[in-house]
Structure 1
Amino acid sequence: MGYPILFHLSFLFASLCILLISFSTIEVVNGGFSVNLIRINSTNVAHLLDTVQSPTISDNGVHIIEMSLGNPPTKYYGIMDTGSDLIWSQCLPCEDCFPQNYPYFDPKKSSTYTSVYCQEHECNQLEERNKGCSSNNQCRYTYSYGDSSITQGELALDTITLESSSGGVIPLQYMMFGCGHKNTGNFGKKMMGIVGLGRGPLSLISQIGSSFGGRRFSHCLIPYSNDNNLPSIMSFGSGSEVVGDGVVSTPLIKEESKPFYYVTLEGISVGDTYLSLHSSKGNMIIDSGTTLTFLPQKLYDQLVDEVKKQVPLQPIIDDPKSDDRLCYSSTNLQDPIITTHFEGADLQLKPIQTFYPSNVGVSCFAFRSTSKDAVGIYGNLVQTNYLIGFDLEREVVSFKATQCNAHHV
């Protein structure tokens, strides 16, 4: 099949010809392109950098990215997940699919849909434990997730279309994705699948590669309690860099053959009280597909004890089945301010990022415990209201405090 990411050259050529009618010059910049716009009835020239991007929205503890799939392109809404690598969509025929608000993707209606067979290079991108072969030699996959969700189907190639900051579209052919015929789990009706954004070879960012000026992307997640229909954006390649005043960065710790973004958490502060985490490098995964943050038991217990000291309210039992959940009868907590101390980067978190609305009038702590030696997970609630950039060229992740509900398309 050759290299799995190719521009639809005929579309791109036609698009550039159309652009030439409206723009004076087009120049290649670091794998992307910039345009010099001549406004009608004006001699002023404005220099624009065209950034590849997609809208995102918040929905019940996850964040959904909007793209298009197939040719002609049909809208696709998938959970954005930096903790996995497969892109998949529910597909016809559905043997077992969860209900969604939109039609299931029909491969027969896409002129660019191509099956992947077991002997082909693309099938070998799957890990052995996820790979199978059908009776007609088609490449099969099975993926399971930490919340017990499962998707099964055929690995295929098709066109994925992204948007650009100038309002245009960027179609990418021969993108590997899972056409899921059996999918189970706790999915809402606005979701059609998952968009893996991890480091593995099947992820969106890995397949895009350096096509847009570098293997980098950024997102800005809107807090859980904000309007779910308010969009933010996710950007790719040139123009997605997190720069300016207040930016802090921490090194990414690379683990061979694993799709996760590992970073090093050194400790957590509650107000002025510092709680140290004595652990090895790469002890946390930044995961946009997990809602809560999971910490080693000892650090979690210390954190909860300190939060109880600093919140001037009596905790309540919100769920008798979950005795480790810390909740309060309040939706307007002002304290405490919690700071996560990563290697080289201190991130200050307000209660809107560390507590979430559970029941009416109840806020619960967005942290949980994990086993003693397990790697922790930095979930999406604590990532909200930060512009977060993953730069795989420099092997760093950068953070900038941002009102994400103003960071919209």
Structure 2
Amino acid sequence: MPASFNKYFSYCLPSSASSPGYITIGKTADNGIKNKFLKFTPLTTKPQDKELYGIVVTGISVGGKNLSVKSSDYMKSGAIIDSGITFAYLPQKAYITLENSFVKQGRVELELDVKRILSIINQNNKHYACLAFRASTDKTEPLILGNVQQRATDVHYDVAGGKVGFGPGGCS
């Protein structure tokens, strides 16, 4: 097995069950083409959570306006990216501010498409649109970027380089 086998991997979670996705282990020739469209941010680690990939979150905006939450409030318990968790979990203050801002903005166009902001739930033959974010219930729980927000995005982990990249283009 090449030494870079576990130091670089990428995936794209499909936007629906009928759409394709992918996972690639190791670098490929195609990574170089995609890398020019990726925006990278540093990976962080906590000694007690070496199996998790930490990220730095500095803010969230709705309708082009930054939420009035200090960047340090996002990072009090750290932040991770997790493809196994469905929704994003935010610190209580950040979640309440996001929820209030989203309600005020209403039909404003957001950079994340609707499938990465809202989750459609069918209950008793009625469809409900729910915000795909949750408030953390524990002050020590990290901010979590869940898989709903990652759908139809190329996600590249360059572990050796200490960074994770996000790119447009869906799962093609």
TM-score when scaled to structure 2? 0.84
Question: Which residue in 1 is equivalent to 2:27?
Answer: 238
Question: Which residue in 2 is equivalent to 1:263?
Answer: 55
Provide the rounded CA distance (Å) in 2 between the counterparts of 1:216 and 1:282.
26
One-letter amino acid of the structure 2 residue matched with residue 299 of structure 1: A
TM superposition shift of 1:266: 0.8
TM superposition shift of 1:374: 2.5
Provide the rounded CA distance (Å) in 2 between the counterparts of 1:268 and 1:257.
27
Question: Which residue in 2 is equivalent to 1:402?
Answer: 169
Mapped contact 2:54–2:81 kept (Cα < 8 A) = yes
Task: Tell me the percent identity.
Answer: 30
Mapped contact 1:262–1:282 kept (Cα < 8 A) = no
Mapped contact 2:77–2:143 kept (Cα < 8 A) = no
- Does residue 254 of the first structure (1) align with residue 48 of the second (2)? no
Question: Which residue in 1 is equivalent to 2:134?
Answer: 368
Aligned with 1:252: secondary structure? strand
- Does residue 285 of the first structure (1) align with residue 80 of the second (2)? yes
- Does residue 307 of the first structure (1) align with residue 112 of the second (2)? no
Mapped contact 1:253–1:282 kept (Cα < 8 A) = no
Provide the rounded CA distance (Å) in 1 between the counterparts of 2:141 and 2:86.
18
- Residues 58-86 of structure 1: CA deviation (Å, up to 9, x unaligned): xxxxxxxxxxxxxxxxxxxxxxxxxxxxx
One-letter amino acid of the structure 2 residue matched with residue 355 of structure 1: L
Compare relative contact order (CA 8 Å, sep 6+) and give the higher one, 1 or 2.
2
TM superposition shift of 1:254: 1.6
Provide the rounded CA distance (Å) in 2 between the counterparts of 1:244 and 1:211.
20
Matches within 5 A, 1:85-100: none
Q: Check 1:292–1:305 CA distance in 2 against 1; reply closer, same or farther (3 A cut).
A: same
Q: Which has the higher strand share?
A: 1
TM superposition shift of 1:283: 2.1
Provide the rounded CA distance (Å) in 2 between the counterparts of 1:211 and 1:253.
19
User: Which of structure 1's runs of 4+ aligned residues deviate more than 4 A?
Assistant: none
Aligned with 2:97: secondary structure? helix
Q: Check 1:215–1:287 CA distance in 2 against 1; reply closer, same or farther (3 A cut).
A: same
Matches within 5 A, 1:329-344: 335-337=108-110
Matches within 5 A, 1:138-157: none
Q: Which has the higher helix share?
A: 2
- Residues 313-340 of structure 1: CA deviation (Å, up to 9, x unaligned): xxxxxxxxxxxxxxxxxxxxxx441xxx
Matches within 5 A, 1:161-310: 210=3, 212=5, 215-223=7-15, 226=16, 228-239=17-28, 241=31, 242-245=34-37, 247-258=38-49, 259-275=51-67, 276=69, 277-279=71-73, 280=75, 283-310=78-105
TM superposition shift of 1:401: 1.3
- Does residue 358 of the first structure (1) align with residue 121 of the second (2)? yes
Structure 1: runs of 5 or more not aligned:
1-6, 8-30, 32-209, 313-334, 338-347
Provide the rounded CA distance (Å) in 1 between the counterparts of 2:77 and 2:22.
28
- Residues 96-115 of structure 1: CA deviation (Å, up to 9, x unaligned): xxxxxxxxxxxxxxxxxxxx
One-letter amino acid of the structure 1 residue matched with residue 64 of structure 2: D
Q: Check 1:336–1:278 CA distance in 2 against 1; reply closer, same or farther (3 A cut).
A: farther
Question: Which residue in 1 is equivalent to 2:144?
Answer: 377
One-letter amino acid of the structure 1 residue matched with residue 52 of structure 2: F
TM superposition shift of 1:310: 1.1
Q: Check 1:296–1:211 CA distance in 2 against 1; reply closer, same or farther (3 A cut).
A: closer
When Rg is computed on C-alpha atoms for both structures, the one with the higher figure is 1
Structure 2: runs of 5 or more not aligned:
none
Mapped contact 1:298–1:372 kept (Cα < 8 A) = no
Provide the rounded CA distance (Å) in 2 between the counterparts of 1:391 and 1:253.
12
